[in-house]
């Protein structure tokens, strides 16, 4: 049995934040869930996916976050308790659906998890999705601890059903990827709903309907604000004259700081866990008892702005600070020492900063960036493109996935990236303005996610571009989730269909389509040369199963290669392919047999033909 | 209860997250409050994996620069890189077997020599414990048990609020049965080397 399905109320388990969130949903009787994977949210979905295979829960990986939210919107409008999971930038993709779903509302509880990523550990920006609460009108709940994440998700379903609108649970990486004790509650039976009832004058958002729906949404926001002021997730800790208002993990840092500074008697902390609408009445009361207030929040001054506005309305003139040059930054994540120092500085508490080691005599250390794996088909494709375009002026928009890592030298496979799918859309602009040949890279999952409209645009507007689709048959970067191009039967899962990338591309009307196997460099380069020489839209589909996913299976390439005595130390292999299986020993290139997958690409690159398969079969199992 | 702050750094694939999980489980079973956080975005693609474990009465799951009581590194270069987390009170345990990053192999950076690593760490921390964890793991029968060797060394210092026996039990609970024997052997070898 899946560990999150265990019926063991009151027992404590040591869980990842994302596991606690999935457990919270199960305890609330979630019956339906959909997602597009994205760090730091991915393990929530992974656990729901696993549980769906041994319970009545319906779970799907949808093609993108907008589709996932639409799927969930319909389920929730059939009365089903539903969860939709995405990373913060995924909410941008889903935003069109989100904004009007807020008008239409739900029958069964719908919880949308937005996993924000301050410091951008694995994201392209660090946007603060609390503003989506303001923008859409939807309530936002934010946990501070792992156990609270479980409880808050379970309660979010209740809140959603009570207000009949979706509720956003906003986390940050330090909740999703932290681990702590979680006390299990009871598991409610899945709430499956009673089907769909037609109600077009409330559910079809033509202008006349939406005008009345917006009125209703404002009424719900007013009710939500009153609920926020009495919510158990907004509470006051301590009773001194100095006030701290904090949310999420910042609350933990503030609480530790107050104890470390020994100022428990002088500080009161208002923890905001129900952060949209902001609890105006509670904040007003809190401010009335304070001489001075500091708002501690990562990201934007979301609470600070609200607190100032509440104070202004009440006629309070006490100092309220948060973001500022001497205080907190809008950049990156906080840590305990930073929060301790700012609290001490602002309120004038005595404080001894930690003695940090003097690192001035540490030599410059070689970086250890994540790298494409040994045997990764992307590396072969990038090398092939680099070889074929040598001496040409090219621009290479790239996209989001493992292959983004190829932008580093020596492969240098990527010149522009803003969001999922942007490699196909931006290709149009570059083809008109950059005066260079455009070669775009996109992965298979990203192609389905949002690459297709850009490709259609390129065909219709007759842009001159080559799109290289790096088809590794999985959503690799986030942990090998399926996508519409994956053969689910091969993974032992029945009941799915499969969408062919080639058919989609041909169906769009791309006239120059080729399919290559990256490990065959010669043929791969020939196809690329022809595609790049074609005037108009050409597509090259490079098919190679993800080396990491097939490691140790029958599909793995074969026995490892080694460098023979014929090597004349050109180092084309190590300098231009840069496979992590290479290393230098006594100034000679060697291949780590434990890492080598036997893809043979380096053997094809070596000018001396010095890289050969090792004779004895000692494949790594 | 006092707070003990432990940082574990490793190269992706060295089993840092499992080691953290074992310690978390040992603490839970011993009734010691513990929270941890990990940055493992691309653990499987050769990047640096860092986990922070905070034992005792604190709410935070992250550890600021200069505030680690103990730092365990699975690789000597990464010990040096993580020195910012340490202070003159920190006990640092490192594996001595280098895993040079690819950048060093391609001439984009130079791997520092062991003597530099050793002298800088000694100068800036309270104590350096060096373990050839890779050799001991190989001796235990599985080169992949480097994590268990270092757990053994860490538990043997007595600096954690959990006993060696509690960690042993957690290894039995948490790690795969087929590797249990070599894991426990690696744990003992690490403990002996640290004493």
- Provide the token pair at A205: 């958002």
DSSP state of B14: S
- Contacts with A, B 136-155, CB within 8 Å: none
pLDDT of residue A557: 66
Last residue of a domain, one of A506, A529, A550: A550
Q: Cβ of A405 and B45 within 8 Å?
A: yes
- Contacts with A, B 72-111, CB within 8 Å: 77-78, 80-81, 83-84, 86-88, 100-106, 108-111
What stretches of A264-411 show up as alpha helix (H) in DSSP? Answer: 280-288, 302-314, 336-347, 377-388
Residues forming a β-bridge with A440:
A467
pLDDT of residue A423: 98
Q: For an interface test with A, which of B27, B59, B107, B123 has the most A Cβ atoms less than 10 Å from its Cβ? A: B59
How far apart are the CA of B66 and the nearest CA of chain A, in angstroms? 5
Is residue A165 a contact partner of residue A217, using CB atoms and an 8 Å limit?
yes
Strand pairing report for A110-116 and A140-141: unpaired
CA–CA dist A405, A400 (Å, integer)? 9
CA–CA dist A434, A437 (Å, integer)? 8
Q: What are phi and psi of A86, to 5 degrees?
A: -160, 165
Confirm or reject contact between B44 and chain A (CB < 8 A): yes
Task: State yes or no: pLDDT of A621 exceeds 50.
Answer: no
Task: State yes or no: pLDDT of A299 exceeds 60.
Answer: yes
Task: State yes or no: pLDDT of A89 exceeds 60.
Answer: yes
Neighbouring residues of B70: CB distance < 8 A, sequence distance ≥ 6? B4, B5, B6, B7, B90, B91, B92, B93, B154, B157, B159, B160
Integer CA distances (angstroms), A190 to A52, A80, A113, A196, A475, in order? 12, 9, 19, 17, 29
pLDDT of residue A587: 87
How far apart are the CA of B116 and the nearest CA of chain A, in angstroms? 8
Range of the domain at A482: 377-488+495-550
Instruction: Examine residue A328 and say whether the peptide bond preceding it is cis (omega within 30 degrees of 0).
Output: no
Span A354-366, mean pLDDT?
Answer: 91
**A395 and A454 housed in the same domain:** yes
Q: Is residue A38 part of a domain?
A: yes
**A207 and A281 housed in the same domain:** no
pLDDT band of B43, cuts 50, 70, 90: low
pLDDT of residue A619: 43
Is residue B39 a contact partner of residue A178, using CB atoms and an 8 Å limit?
no
The 3-state DSSP class for residue A328 equals strand
Strand pairing report for A32-35 and A234-237: unpaired
For Cα atoms A478, A481, A482, give the angle at the middle one, nearest 5 degrees: 145
Interhelix angle B146-156/B180-194, nearest 10 degrees: 40
Q: Cβ of B34 and A39 within 8 Å?
A: no
Nearest to B39 by CA among B49, B47, B29, B30: B49
Q: Cβ of A365 and B83 within 8 Å?
A: no
Q: Note the pLDDT tens digit of each residue in A390-418.
A: 999 999 999 999 999 999 989 999 999 99
- Contacts with A, B 171-190, CB within 8 Å: none
**A165 and A98 housed in the same domain:** yes
Span A417-441, mean pLDDT?
Answer: 98
pLDDT of residue A98: 98
Sign of CA dihedral A101, A106, A110, A111: positive
- Provide the token pair at A174: 């330090």
Q: Note the pLDDT tens digit of each residue in A535-547.
A: 999 999 999 999 9
- Provide the token pair at A11: 């027992």
**A321 and A452 housed in the same domain:** no
CA–CA dist A471, A478 (Å, integer)? 15
Last residue of a domain, one of A169, A195, A229: A229
Chain B residue with the nearest C-alpha to that of A179: B36
**Which residues of chain B neighbour A549 with C-beta distances below 8 Å?**
none
Task: State yes or no: pLDDT of A97 exceeds 70.
Answer: yes
Q: Cβ of B83 and A357 within 8 Å?
A: yes
CA–CA dist A450, A324 (Å, integer)? 38
CA–CA dist B45, B16 (Å, integer)? 14
Of A179, A255, A370, the CB nearest to B35: A179
In a 10 Å sphere around its CB, with 0-12 CB exposed, 13-18 middle and 19+ buried, how is residue B132 labelled?
middle
Q: Cβ of B105 and A583 within 8 Å?
A: yes
DSSP state of A129: T
Task: State yes or no: pLDDT of A389 exceeds 80.
Answer: yes
Residue A297 falls in which region: left (phi positive, over 0), alpha (psi -120 to 50) or beta? beta
A22, HSE (Cβ side, Cα atoms, 13 Å) = 28
**A323 and A305 housed in the same domain:** yes
**A238 and A100 housed in the same domain:** no
Of A12, A121, A362, the CB nearest to B120: A362
Q: Cβ of B45 and A373 within 8 Å?
A: yes
Span A462-472, mean pLDDT?
Answer: 98
Neighbouring residues of A151: CB distance < 8 A, sequence distance ≥ 6? A24, A143, A185
DSSP state of A419: S
CA–CA dist B142, B136 (Å, integer)? 9
**A435 and A537 housed in the same domain:** yes
**A210 and A317 housed in the same domain:** no
**A194 and A289 housed in the same domain:** no
pLDDT of residue B41: 58
Is residue A270 a contact partner of residue A311, using CB atoms and an 8 Å limit?
no
Question: Edge-to-edge, what's the strand order for the sheet holding A110-116?
Answer: A58-61, A32-35, A82-87, A110-116, A167-172, A140-141, A274-276
In a 10 Å sphere around its CB, with 0-12 CB exposed, 13-18 middle and 19+ buried, how is residue A393 labelled?
exposed
CA–CA dist A414, A408 (Å, integer)? 8
**A127 and A144 housed in the same domain:** yes
Domain count, chain B: 1
CA–CA dist A153, A29 (Å, integer)? 11
CA–CA dist A115, A171 (Å, integer)? 5
CA–CA dist A548, A533 (Å, integer)? 33
In a 10 Å sphere around its CB, with 0-12 CB exposed, 13-18 middle and 19+ buried, how is residue A523 labelled?
middle
Q: Note the pLDDT tens digit of each residue in A220-277.
A: 999 999 999 999 999 999 999 999 999 999 999 999 999 999 999 999 999 999 999 9
Nearest to A174 by CA among A332, A401, A3, A340: A332
For Cα atoms A145, A151, A155, give the angle at the middle one, nearest 5 degrees: 135
CATH number at B137 reads: 3.40.920.10
Query: Residue written as tokens 């319906």?
Result: A58
Q: Is residue A481 part of a domain?
A: yes
Last residue of a domain, one of A550, A574, A593: A550
**A320 and A394 housed in the same domain:** no
Q: Cβ of A181 and B120 within 8 Å?
A: no
How far apart are the CA of A537 and the nearest CA of chain B, in angstroms? 33
Q: Is residue A555 part of a domain?
A: no
pLDDT band of A355, cuts 50, 70, 90: confident
Task: State yes or no: pLDDT of A618 exceeds 70.
Answer: no
Confirm or reject contact between B128 and chain A (CB < 8 A): no
Assign 3-state DSSP to chain B and report helix, strand, coil percentages, each to 5. Answer: 50, 20, 35
**What string of DSSP letters covers B116-137?**
HHHHHHHHHSSEEEEE-HHHHH
CA–CA dist B125, B112 (Å, integer)? 18
Q: Cβ of B35 and A178 within 8 Å?
A: yes
**A182 and A238 housed in the same domain:** no
CATH number at A107 reads: 3.40.50.970
Burial readout B86-121 (b: 16 or more C-beta within 10 A, e: otherwise): bbeebbbbbbbbbbbbbbbbbebbebbeeeebbebb
pLDDT of residue A620: 42
CA–CA dist A501, A257 (Å, integer)? 54
**Which residues of chain A neighbour B65 with C-beta distances below 8 Å?**
335, 337, 354, 356
pLDDT of residue A194: 83
**Which residues of chain B neighbour A578 with C-beta distances below 8 Å?**
102, 106
Domain count, chain A: 4
CA–CA dist B112, B51 (Å, integer)? 24
pLDDT of residue A356: 84
Range of the domain at B173: 4-194
Q: Which of A79-83, A129-133, A420-424, A476-480 has the lowest mean pLDDT?
A: A476-480
**Average per-residue pLDDT for chain B:** 94
Q: Cβ of B100 and A256 within 8 Å?
A: no
Percent of chain A with pLDDT over 70: 99
Span A350-362, mean pLDDT?
Answer: 90
Chain B residue with the nearest C-alpha to that of A341: B64
Of B24, B80, B109, the CB nearest to A367: B109
Burial readout A540-575 (b: 16 or more C-beta within 10 A, e: otherwise): bbbbbbbbbbbbeeeebbebbbbbeeebeeebebbe
CATH number at A603 reads: 3.30.70.20
pLDDT band of A586, cuts 50, 70, 90: confident
Sign of CA dihedral B21, B74, B84, B128: positive
pLDDT of residue B187: 98
Q: Cβ of B24 and A14 within 8 Å?
A: yes
- Provide the token pair at A567: 């090597």
Query: Residue written as tokens 């969130």?
Result: A21
Of B34, B59, B77, the CB nearest to A365: B77
pLDDT of residue B108: 81
- Provide the token pair at A156: 């979010």
**Average per-residue pLDDT for chain A:** 96
């Amino acid at each position: 049995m899946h560990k999150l399905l265990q019926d063991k109320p009151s027992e404590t388990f040591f869980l990842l934040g994302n596991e606690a969130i999935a457990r919270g949903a199960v305890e609330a009787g979630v019956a339906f869930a959909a997602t597009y994977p994205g760090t730091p949210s991915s393990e929530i979905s992974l656990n729901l996916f696993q549980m769906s295979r041994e319970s009545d829960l319906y779970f799907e990986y949808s093609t993108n976050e907008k589709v996932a939210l639409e799927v969930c919107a319909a389920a929730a409008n059939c009365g089903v308790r539903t969860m939709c999971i995405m990373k913060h930038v995924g909410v941008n993709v889903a935003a069109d659906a989100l904004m009007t779903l807020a008008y239409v509302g739900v029958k069964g509880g719908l919880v949308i998890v937005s996993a924000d990523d301050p410091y951008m550990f694995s994201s392209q920006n660090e946007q603060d999705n609390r503003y989506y609460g303001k923008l859409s009108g939807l309530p936002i709940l934010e946990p501070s601890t792992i156990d609270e994440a479980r409880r808050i998700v379970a309660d979010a379903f209740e809140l959603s059903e009570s207000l009949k609108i979706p509720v956003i649970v906003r986390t940050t990486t330090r909740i999703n990827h932290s681990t702590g004790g979680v006390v299990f509650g009871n598991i409610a039976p899945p709430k499956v709903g009673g089907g769909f009832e037609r109600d077009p004058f409330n559910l079809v958002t033509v202008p006349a309907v939406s005008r009345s729906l917006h009125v209703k949404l404002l009424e719900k926001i007013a009710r939500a604000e009153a609920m926020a002021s009495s919510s158990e997730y907004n509470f006051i800790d301590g009773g001194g004259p100095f006030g701290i208002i904090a949310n999420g993990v910042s609350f933990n840092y503030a609480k530790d700081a107050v104890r470390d500074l020994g100022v428990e008697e002088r500080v009161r902390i208002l923890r905001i866990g129900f952060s949209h609408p902001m609890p105006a009445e509670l904040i007003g009361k809190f401010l009335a008892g304070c001489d001075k207030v500091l708002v501690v929040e990562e990201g934007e001054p979301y609470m600070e702005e609200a607190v100032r506005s509440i104070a202004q309305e009440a006629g309070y003139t006490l100092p309220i600070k948060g973001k500022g040059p001497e205080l907190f930054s809008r950049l990156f994540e906080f840590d305990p020492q930073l929060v301790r120092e700012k609290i001490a500085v602002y309120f004038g508490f005595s404080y001894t900063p930690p003695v940090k080691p003097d690192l001035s005599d540490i030599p410059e250390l070689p970086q250890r960036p994540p790298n494409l794996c040994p045997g990764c088909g992307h590396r072969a494709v990038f090398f092939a493109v680099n070889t074929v375009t040598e001496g040409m002026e090219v621009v290479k928009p790239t996209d989001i996935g493992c292959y983004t890592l190829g932008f580093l030298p020596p492969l240098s496979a990527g010149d522009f990236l803003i969001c999922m799918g942007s490699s196909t859309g931006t290709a149009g602009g570059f083809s008109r303005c950059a005066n260079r040949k455009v070669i775009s890279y996109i992965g298979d999952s990203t192609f389905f996610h949002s690459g297709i409209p850009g490709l259609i645009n390129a065909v219709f507007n007759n842009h001159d571009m080559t799109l290289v689709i790096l088809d590794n048959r999985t959503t690799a970067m986030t942990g090998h989730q399926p996508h519409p191009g994956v053969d689910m039967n091969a993974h032992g899962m029945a009941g799915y269909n499969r969408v062919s990338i080639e058919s989609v591309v041909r169906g769009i009307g791309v006239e120059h389509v080729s399919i290559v196997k990256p490990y065959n460099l010669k043929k791969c380069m020939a196809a690329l040369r022809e595609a790049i020489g074609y005037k108009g839209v050409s597509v090259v589909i490079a098919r190679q199963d993800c080396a990491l996913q097939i490691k140790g299976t029958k599909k793995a390439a074969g026995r490892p290669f080694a460098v023979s005595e014929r090597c004349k130390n050109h180092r084309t292999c190590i300098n231009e392919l840069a496979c992590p299986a290479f290393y230098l020993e006594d100034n000679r290139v060697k291949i780590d047999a434990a890492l080598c997958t036997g893809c043979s690409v380096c053997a094809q690159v070596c000018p001396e033909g010095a890289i050969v398969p090792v004779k004895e079969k000692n494949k790594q199992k | 209860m006092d707070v003990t702050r432990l940082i574990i750094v490793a190269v992706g694939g060295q089993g840092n997250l499992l080691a953290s999980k074992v310690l978390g489980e040992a603490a839970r079973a011993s009734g010691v409050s513990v929270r941890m956080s990990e940055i493992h975005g691309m653990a499987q693609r050769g990047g640096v994996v860092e986990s922070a474990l905070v034992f005792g009465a604190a709410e935070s799951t992250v550890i600021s620069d200069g505030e680690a009581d103990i730092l365990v590194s699975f690789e000597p270069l990464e010990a040096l890189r993580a020195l910012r987390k340490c202070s003159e009170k920190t006990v640092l345990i490192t594996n001595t077997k280098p895993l040079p990053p690819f950048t060093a192999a391609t001439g984009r950076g130079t791997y520092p020599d062991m003597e530099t690593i050793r002298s800088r760490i000694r100068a800036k921390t309270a104590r350096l414990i060096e373990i050839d964890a890779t050799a001991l793991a190989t001796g235990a029968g599985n080169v992949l048990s480097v994590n268990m060797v270092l757990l053994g060394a860490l538990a043997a210092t007595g600096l954690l609020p959990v006993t060696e026996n509690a960690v042993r039990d957690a290894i039995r609970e948490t790690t795969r049965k087929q590797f249990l024997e070599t894991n426990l052997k690696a744990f003992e070898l690490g403990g002996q080397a640290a004493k």
